[in-house]
A and B are shown apart, each in its own frame.
Chain A
Amino acid sequence: MKKNKIVSVSVMIIAVSAILIQWGCKPQTVQTAASGDAASKVYVAPGTYDEFYNFVSGGFNGQLSVYGLPSGRMFRSIPVFSVDPEKGYGFSEETKPMLNTSHGFIPWDDAHHPDFSCTNAEVDGRWVFINGNNTPRVARIGLTTFKTEEIIEIPNSAGNHSSPFVTANTEYVVAGTRFSIPLGNNTNVPIKSYKENFKGTITFIKVDPTSGNMSIGFQILMPGMDFDLSRSGRGPSKDWSFFSCYNSEQANTLKEVNASQRDKDFIIAVNWKKAEEYIAAGKGEKWPAKYAHNTWDDKTHSATSTMMNEVLVLDPTKVPDMVYFMPCAKSPHGVDVDPTGEYIVGSGKLAAVMPVFSFSKMIKAIEEKNFDGEYQGIPVLSYDAVLHGEVQKPGLGPLHTQFDDKGNAYTSMFVSSEIVKWRVSDLQVLDRVPTYYSIGHLCVPGGGSAKPFGKYVVAYNKITKDRYLPTGPELTQSAQLYDITGDKMQLLSDFPTIGEPHYGIACPAELIKGNSKKFYKIEENMHPYVAKGEKEAKVVREGNKVHVYMTSIRSHFAPDNIEGVKVGDEVYFHVTNLEQDWDIPHGFAIKGARNSELLIMPGETSTLKWIPQEAGVVPFYCTDFCSALHQEMQGYIRVFPAGSNPEITFSLGDLAEDQPK
């Protein structure tokens, strides 16, 4: 009996093993072996440049990373909403104000949708804007320094998802709240009073055309529901922005069921030019609002945070002809405008068809007041009157659409893990390719602008499972590159990404690479604690604060011997990198600092705050492998006990008398 049991167990093990082995051997299909010429299409020879820059949000890592296409090589991770100890971002005294909010210093956010600045709805290569989803913010990254230059907080918002989606000439970046919330004086209300008390806002942030500086132009008060994505118009629709929304049911709980009860939610059309007219006519109501506006200055190498206290609010139920609803199949996610500005694609992620709206029909319907009633006081346009047509059975879970330069659209299908290519003019599905796995957003270079560059589509996948060598429970997330130059899309490569590759944008390298800054001119350094040469290096005590005006150059700090600080002093190392040479940063770290390193660009000054905890001698050193004598680039600071009264001394090259020559 026992023996039989062992035999049968053994047979089972063999059978199961055989099945597992068979499953383990993946078939050599297009999924695992991209076709023959794929390798050469993504090969960028050593020392040569990629054709496109690809900026990919890191999602929950709060950063923006920079890749090249077609190689998929990663060049840089730009800290935006999250601290980055590698770069001292959020740790140096100069960068801390960048992460200030009305809630105080926040070291993290969820960065979702980068978008390029535009001129005539074409990518102009000046800035990237990106939204912070959790504590509502929008950031601007400069494309000469690849640095976060500005962050503005969005008041009266809770989850800035529907953002930033730049208007045709970068007049505005937009910010629609994901969560509606109680607004105004009394926000402590029962959650079940959603329908009565909860409101949404759509914010238009004005962008200065020269400096790029952002300021809140106005907010539009919206019915309580969830705002998802957006795209601004171009060409005939350039004065409009379009937003998707869900939860028009106004459910306050179990939204995965209760926000999908109605057949249709809405695409919201906002005429921001009209809104500007109302603002100019004084129709905006002043609402008190506390929000931080943080700006970076490349001359002082420092950020400033200013707390703002007021916004202008427009209520579309009081100022007409500004906001319209277009019915869209269940719970639309993406809303995407084609390059001509005529077609608006709604991706109802729970719907069987994908509606494409016509802007000219929308204008006609508005003129003819072809309404299908209203929703919370805002006119709902007749679905049939505004519809260009429906893409039939496009796939499951349409999410986001990008366009090429030949009149085709590419829509990601989350549920069926595929990209579907279809023609905008007649809405015919032309091709479909699988993605591995669970694609979210997708990107064609310039594919959200009036001038797409075509050539590739990149899938940003949420799940990779067996695509790479396993690394424990958490696996890398991934981008997949497809060639779209032929009739059939062709998978070329997988490349891993850091963070969640939530959303990506790409443009020809020519638009950006020639503007890249090599170093900061030392004579233009306006930092209040700069030392523009070693002769200006010094240590100054001001009460319990000690300011070290330090310089770094290959391969020493000046000074590198400091004595006379005391336990409990606030010591500020203001380190100026004197180099005037491309790609020669210096680092700075000191033992025991409850902080990060500094990483100081050539010509820049950065400050590390350090409070010595005990008497003794403490070393500091350069952390960036700057030169052959990098390991020699170090120094000491001597700490005296609290309550003592030591003299501050500092030196460089002052040897002890007994040193050999």
Chain B
Amino acid sequence: MTFGLNKKLTIMKNYLKGTAFVAVASFFLFAACNNPQQSEQSTGSPDVNTPLPAGQSSVQDDESQKNIVQVASGSADHSTLVAAVQAAGLVDVLVNAGPFTVFAPTNAAFDALPAGTVDNLLKPENKDQLSDILQYHVAVAVLKTDYLRDGQKLEMVNGGMITISKNGDQVKVNGANIIGTVEASNGLIHVVDQVLLPQ
């Protein structure tokens, strides 16, 4: 609790597995998705046709505190969100220095969307629309619930605004409940029970 983890951590356990699982799962995710670009040395003829190496998400570091993507990837209940972040090409963005706050809808929240919505968004031709929706879930700021105020409006990465409502310990974002919070190295994840739709 060094970092003052939200009291709702017990709730979080329903959503996020233990640290060990996070580490293992994220390892597999990265092993599968990224080609580590650090070779020992490559002197010799420069090949201008070599494709660009993977971005910051390919950095191999199993010691530092997990970043937002690594934490989310370790949560079995966020597999839809993680797949969407990958499809939208936002993985390298969300491992950046940030700091970010991500409102992370659960799989159930995505399932509650009209049938076929998610499958449709994951199609390559809808990448821009998907990206816009996901960026509506991300703020460049550390938005601790302690510092949020009722009625506060905050700008998200896609340019849209969210509205905070606060009633005692209960914090809502556009009507979605924040049902847990976990800290990552580069920011915060607030788990929410609804997908936020750009307004």
Q: Which A residues have a C-beta under 8 Å from some C-beta of B?
A: 40-51, 70, 509, 518-519, 522-523, 532-535, 553-556, 578-582, 584, 626-629, 653, 661
Contact = CB atoms under 8 A, between A and B. Distances in A.
A22 to B, nearest CB: 36
Top 4 A-B pairs, shortest CB-CB distance: A554-B99, A581-B185, A580-B65, A581-B64
B152 A661 contact: yes
Nearest to B164: A661
A475 to B, nearest CB: 29
Given A578-B3, A661-B149, A628 B64 contact: no
Nearest to A582: B64
Given A45-B42, A533-B3, 13 more contacts: A43-B46, A48-B41, A49-B38, A70-B43, A554-B97, A554-B142, A554-B186, A579-B185, A582-B63, A582-B64, A628-B96, A628-B97, A661-B153
A47 B50 CA distance: 12
6 contacts: A49-B41, A51-B43, A70-B43, A518-B61, A580-B185, A582-B59
Contacts of B146: 653
B40 A49 contact: yes
B39 A48 contact: yes
Interface string B146-165: 11010111000000000000
Nearest to A627: B97
Given A578-B3, A629-B141, A51 B41 contact: yes
B37 interface: yes
B89 interface: no
Nearest to A510: B40
A120 B41 CA distance: 28
Contact of A532 (B2, B65, B187): B2
B79 to A, nearest CB: 25
Please report whether the interface of chain A is mostly helix, strand, loop or mixed according to DSSP.
loop
Contacts of A653: 146-147
A532 B2 CA distance: 7
B45 interface: yes
Contact of A519 (B44, B45, B63, B187): B63
A472 B137 CA distance: 54
A533 B2 contact: yes
A626 B97 contact: yes
A555 B141 CA distance: 8
Nearest to A633: B99
B140 interface: yes
Nearest to A51: B41
B53 interface: yes
Interface in B73-97: 96-97
A89 B151 CA distance: 47
Contacts of B147: 653
A582 B61 contact: yes
Interface string B98-131: 1100000000000000000000000000000000
A533 B4 contact: yes
Nearest to A532: B2
A628 B100 CA distance: 9
Contacts of A532: 2
Contact of B151 (A46, A49, A580, A661): A661
Contacts of A584: 97, 185
B140 A629 contact: yes
A44 B41 contact: yes
Contact of A48 (B38, B63, B97, B141): B38
Nearest to B153: A661
Contacts of B59: 582
Interface string B3-47: 110000000000000000000000000000000011111111110
Contacts of A579: 65, 185
A50 B41 contact: yes
A534 B4 CA distance: 8
B191 to A, nearest CB: 21
Contact of B65 (A48, A70, A533, A581): A581
A519 B65 CA distance: 10
Contacts of B46: 40, 43, 45
A627 B186 CA distance: 9
A135 to B, nearest CB: 39
Contact of A40 (B38, B40, B44, B53): B44
Contacts of A581: 64-65, 67, 185-186
Given A554-B99, A581-B186, A518 B37 contact: no
B98 A554 contact: yes
A522 B185 CA distance: 13
B38 A47 contact: yes
Nearest to B149: A661
B63 to A, nearest CB: 5
A661 B147 CA distance: 11
Contacts of B185: 579-581, 584
A48 B4 CA distance: 38
B67 to A, nearest CB: 8
A634 to B, nearest CB: 15
B152 A48 contact: no
B2 A47 contact: no
A396 B72 CA distance: 67
Nearest to A535: B4
Contacts of A509: 40-41
A391 B146 CA distance: 78
A580 B19 CA distance: 15
A294 B151 CA distance: 56
A46 B43 CA distance: 10
Contacts of B96: 628
A42 B41 CA distance: 11
A42 B42 CA distance: 10
A44 to B, nearest CB: 6
Q: Max chain B CB contacts within 10 Å: which of A518, A534, A553, A554?
A: A554
A661 B154 CA distance: 9
A554 B2 contact: no
Nearest to B97: A627
A191 B149 CA distance: 79
